[in-house]
Chains A and B, each alone.
Chain A
């Protein structure tokens, strides 16, 4: 019984690109976290496939996959805590409304959530 290495490799590449699209296109921070999970899973599939192909005696790929899964669980916990803190302070979890450190403040004047006193300093930085 055999399996071409191209199948898991191509599936992992496509899943990673789906995750890239989700990270770039989604607006809700929790959906961005879901896309990050998809990217991490694509990397895990690559690690497992190459570990099985190479028949590594240390099974480094599988050990690294377990570590990646644990780190992803920690990452999702911290990420959700940050998203909840942002939501509590701003009343929104949309990533493109968090524009306090944006370079150009003239692009889109945003309602109520943004601190107004940040604008003169930003203008000063932009002209300097």
Chain B
């Protein structure tokens, strides 16, 4: 972080009116929420309790939703809360339960290549932060004026300019749904009595499949 701090200091010296040393309220809020988000993400990838990892992921994703709100992208913030916090984390918790993840501390949560992973992540972080700070240290987002991501704006551009990708995405979601059903249904030879083809709840992975 020392080259990043040095470049930030020089950027504060070169930026004429908005420096890093006189942050606005939005910047302070963004920084604090960003620290919480990053800390929750680090705990998510380092904790040894598997269910706690999913719950800290909720904190990280919720913090990102607050960051979207600070960037005036309201609609994406609420979509983030609905889809990520509402459904993806619940799916992950279901997956942890269905694979009989141990409650409490599991000593083998990390694999043997943990030092290599740490080295790769630290090198990538140093390189990315250096490049990003060097490129954008004098760039300022102007947040005045109307919100750029309100539901009005987003709906308008989505159904005026992005209709074809939107419809293609619905086809992809249908394909993913069918794929998940096919992958998680039991073989017909395993239980001939249960008649799985008429079961309406077979898209949810059933706990009977684990026995």
A residues adjacent to B (C-beta < 8 A): 1-11, 13-28, 30-31, 33-35, 37-38, 41, 44-45, 48-49, 51-53, 55, 58-59, 62-63, 65-67, 69-78, 80-85, 87-88, 93-96
User: How close is B75's CB to chain A, nearest CB, in angstroms?
Assistant: 8
Other-chain residue from B24, B88, B98, B132 in contact with A37 (beta carbon distance below 8 A): B88
CB<8 Å pairs between A and B, sample of 18: A2-B18, A3-B143, A4-B137, A4-B141, A5-B136, A6-B136, A8-B71, A20-B121, A28-B101, A31-B53, A44-B64, A48-B71, A58-B161, A63-B157, A72-B84, A80-B92, A80-B205, A81-B179
In terms of DSSP, what is the predominant structure of the interface of chain B?
helix
Interface of B with A (CB < 8 Å)? 4, 8, 11, 18, 20, 24-27, 30-31, 34, 37-38, 41-42, 44-45, 50, 53-54, 57, 60-61, 64, 67-68, 70-73, 75-76, 79-80, 83-84, 87-88, 91-92, 94-96, 98-99, 101, 108-114, 116-118, 120-122, 124-125, 128-129, 132-133, 136-137, 139-144, 148-149, 153-154, 157-158, 161-162, 165-166, 169, 172-173, 176-177, 179-180, 183-184, 205, 209-210
Known A-B contacts A78-B179, A88-B209; A18 and B136 likewise in contact (beta carbons under 8 Å): no
Residues of B within 8 A of A85 (CB): 183-184
Chain B residues whose C-beta falls within 8 Å of the C-beta of A63 in the assembled complex: 154, 157-158, 161-162, 165
Given contacts A6-B137, A76-B92, A80-B91, whether A21 and B45 have CB atoms under 8 Å apart is yes
Residues of B within 8 A of A44 (CB): 64, 76, 80
In Å, the complex CA distance between A95 and B135 comes to: 38
Residue from A35, A77, A84 within 8 A of B98 (CB atoms):
A84
Give the residue of B57, B124, B140 whose beta carbon is less than 8 angstroms from that of A3: B140
Nearest-neighbour CB distance to chain A for B135, whole angstroms, equals 8
- Give every chain A residue within 8 A of B122 (Cβ-Cβ): 17
Name the residue of chain B whose CB is nearest to the CB of A83.
B95
Decide yes or no: A4 and B18 within 8 Å by CB, A17-B128, A87-B210 being known contacts: yes
A19: which of B45, B76, B101, B136 is its contact (CB, 8 Å)?
B45
Does B128 contact A16, Cβ atoms closer than 8 Å?
A: yes
- CB nearest to A63 among chain B residues: B162
* Given A49-B141, A76-B91, 8 other A-B residues pairs in contact with their CB atoms under 8 A: A2-B140, A17-B121, A24-B120, A25-B111, A38-B41, A48-B73, A59-B153, A80-B94
Contacts of B64 in A (CB 8 A): 41, 44-45
From A19, A71, A77, B180 is in contact (CB under 8 Å) with A77
- Determine if A81 and B24 form an interchain contact, defined as CB atoms under 8 angstroms apart: no
Partner of B183, one of A49, A58, A81: A81
Minimal Cβ-Cβ distance residue in A for B173 = A74
**CB-based contact A53/B172 at 8 Å:** no
Given the known A-B contacts A3-B140, A4-B139, A25-B110, are A66 and B94 also in contact in the complex, defined by CB atoms under 8 Å?
A: no
